[in-house]
Structures are given as structure tokens and as C-alpha cells.
Amino acid sequence: MTWLARQQQSLIDALFAWPSTDAIKVLASYADTTRVSGLKVYQANGHALAQRALQAAYPVVAQLVGPDSFSDLARAFWHACPPQRGDIAQWGEELAAFLQGSEQLHDEPYLPDVARVEWGMHLCASAAQTETGLSTLALLTTHDPAQVRIELAAGCAVVRSAWPVASILGAHLQQHPTFEVVGQQLRAGLAQDVVVWRQGLQPRVREATAAEAAFLMALLQSHTLAAALDGAPGLDFSQWLPQAVHSGLFGSVTWVTP
């Protein structure tokens, strides 16, 4: 490796390696004090950018861990999972897995699932706008359920959780339910499944029943309507469909070619 290549690699390490002091010491052997000081400025800017980007995608996680801890979390995550694309708004998908593996956050085991829902909302907000295929509903009356699929609205996601994540998000984003109620649900070990979708241009999140969550996950995996219903015996499809159309969760019906 040439001297220039070693210096370039040291620059990358100093920006993303952790702990950063080790990388900066290495870089100091290739650069003078002024340049190393300049590098520290770049690194500080990177940390600030990381915190702003994560705060935008994960506002509830930020509230749950608190400002100081979230700053440390963003810095550690920046070094553990550096951006792979130029658009910083697309960075942060791995945060749930990062939280899952954090020993310091084991006392808040619901955080990874909260992060999964928030990332789903983040992606949903930028999903391509598509027209609702209301005219395709006629296929449900002319074709066998084994011959059709229901496509959900763009950006739809489902998170199945052992924790009351819908209540946690509601308390922080909509002040409902109360934090007292959320505390009671956490102590009781209440599990909640969540569906994320977009109504108009606004991401929405609500609790889903276990049957609906299973049904939606099957639809997202491109199962036929018949197969999706078989996997969700507790779902009343005649009630679900008009509600899905009204709320914007429904996308269209497609015919499965034999």
C-alpha cells in the first residue's frame, strides 16, 4: 500500500472507526497538527449529522433514551454502521438490530420494536404515491379468492411485538394513551402488533389484531387472498375490506395468472 493510500485509509478510519482516538493517533503519523485538528472538526460534524438524521427518523426512541444518551447512541451507531449511500436520510435502518445487541439498553427491551415501527414510518413517508385501484375491487366478485391478490398501499409495514409499542408511540406522538397507562401495560407484559401505512401523504400507525397482522403479512409476501385468509382465521374480511379502503390501507386487487 502506498503512503497516499495509507493516509487515505487513515482518514476513513478516523471518521468512522471507534474509539476515534486510536484512529486519530494513527493519522497523526501521516499529517501535521493542523490537519489533525481539521479532521476533528470533520468528525464532530459527522457526529452532529448522525444525531440529526437519527432524530428525524426516530423521534420516539430519542425521547425514550433522553438527549444525552441519544447523542452517545447516535455517535456509537455512526461508527458501528456508517452510511453506505450518499443520502443521509436513507441511513439508520440497522438501528433496531443495534439496539437489540446493546447491553446498556437491556433494561428497555421494547426499544428495538419501537425503532422498527419508526423506521417503517420513515420509509412510508417517502414511498412513491400510487393511485388506489378501486375499480379492481370487482375482481373479488368475479374470481375465486385463490386467483387474486390484494396489494396494500405503498409503504405499508407490519411489526409484531411482545411489547405495547402502539401505546408507546401513541403516548409520545399523540399524547394518547397516558404514560401511566403505558406503564401499566408494560408491567402487565401486554403485546401489541402494529400496522404502518400512509393516508394521503401522512404516515399512520395503529394497533392491529393478531389475525389482521398475520393477514397483512401474508399479503405483503404476495400470498393469494385465499392463502392469507387461511392464515388468519379470526379475521372478518367483510368488515376489514371497507375499513381498509376508507383508511387508505387498500391498494388494489390483482388477478393471479394460472
Domain boundaries, the chain: 1-108, 113-258
- pLDDT at position 199: 86
Residues in the chain, pLDDT under 70: 1-47, 85-86
Q: What is the 3-state secondary structure (H, E, C) of the chain?
A: CCHHHHHHHHHHHHHHCCCHHHHHHHHHCCCCHHHHHHHHHHHHHHHHHHHHHHHHHCHHHHHHHCHHHHHHHHHHHHHHCCCCCCCHHHCCCCHHHHHHCCHHHCCCCCHHHHHHHHHHHHHHHCCCCCCCCHHHHHHHHHCCHHHEEEEECCCCEEEECCCCHHHHHHHHHCCCCCHHHHHHHHHHCCCCEEEEEEECCEEEEEEECHHHHHHHHHHHCCCCHHHHHHCCCCCCHHHHHHHHHHHCCEEEEEECCC
The model carries a pTM of 0.80
- pLDDT at position 42: 45
- pLDDT at position 24: 47
- pLDDT at position 18: 52
- pLDDT at position 44: 52
- pLDDT at position 65: 94
- pLDDT at position 131: 80
